[in-house]
Structure 1
Amino acid sequence: MTEEPVDVLIVDDQRPFRSVARTVVNLVGGWRVAAEAETGEDAVAAAERVRPAVVLMDINLPGISGIEATRRIMASHPGTRVVLLSTYATADLPPDATTCGATTYLNKEDLTPATLRALR
């Protein structure tokens, strides 16, 4: 019996980073990119549509922030794992990053296949 793939939603307003994140996800066996979004509002809509197991969520987005989008996704889908991503040092995160329901925070440079495997 094979496991269901881990569907991932990538949310970032910068196309180059989405491309990198897509490559990282594709390097993890059993994981696949289910959708991508550029704004917080699009992320909430995509999460409703594809019901991803994992969301890679940039904090700074046009429209609602990644933190607010995370709150909304978690309210509708509490079993979803949201990983907040940014270039902030952990000490410099906005205070509400720790209370929005995200599973963890990763600096964008630390997004690797190994860190994703650790989420499983």
Structure 2
Amino acid sequence: MREVRVLVVDDQEPFRRAMASVVDATEGFVVVGSATTGEESLVMAGDLAPDLVLMDVNLPGIDGIEATRRLGADGRGPVVFLLSTYDEDEVGAARGGAATYIPKGAFGPDRLSAAWQEATRVRGEG
């Protein structure tokens, strides 16, 4: 099985490190890069062609929801999981095309694997 290539996007270094640690601890997933802004995530996604983007909601410049919308605009973009400290019901339907929303406090290897399996099932890839 090919590894799932992950781009981590968060403007706060501790959260980037925490997300990368979860990815590293999850079998079959590998971090291929990290970005600190929505704009940077768009460039890096184009350069790195990740399978999955872990996107913080609150970013300087364009926010994570707008960056997610732009990544999926052509229908061929990566799967995006939005992450934030907000409760799930606070983000609601305003996900910009993200496959799911995961509160940062609930993000771990089991949640990452389960969300990926569901996202690829829905997309018809898994």
Q: Which residue of 2 aligns with 1:20?
A: 18
Q: Where does the alignment leave 5 or more consecutive residues of structure 1 unmatched?
A: none
The answer on whether the counterparts of 2:71 and 2:77 sit within 8 Å (CA) in structure 1 is: no
Deviations 1:22-54 (A, max 9, x none): 110001111100110000000011111111111
SS in 2 for 1:34: strand
Counterpart of 1:65, as a letter, is D
* Aligned mates of 2:112, 2:60 — CA distance in 1: 25
Equivalent residue in structure 1 for 2:104, among 105, 108, 111: 108
Matched residue count: 116
What is the distance in 1 between the residues matched to 2:26 and 2:99? 19
Instruction: Tell me whether 78-87 or 110-119 shows the greater mean CA deviation.
Output: 78-87
SS at the partner of 1:75? coil
- AA in 2 matched with 1:103: A
**Partner Cα distance (1:43, 1:112) in 2:** 22
Question: Following TM superposition, by how much is the alpha carbon of 1:95 offset from its aligned partner in structure 2, in angstroms?
Answer: 5.1
Q: Pairwise mapping of residues 1-120 of structure 1 onto structure 2 (< 5 A)?
A: 3-76=1-74, 78-93=76-91, 96-97=94-95, 100-118=96-114, 119-120=116-117
Distance 1:115 1:41, change over 3 A: same
Report the identity percentage: 45
Give the Å deviation of 1:91: 2.1
Question: Aligned letter for 2:101?
Answer: Y
Structure 2 residue ranges without an equivalent (≥5): 118-126
Give distance in 2, aligned partners of 1:78 and 1:49: 14
**CA apart distance, 1:60:** 0.3
Q: Which TM-score applies when normalising by structure 1? A: 0.90
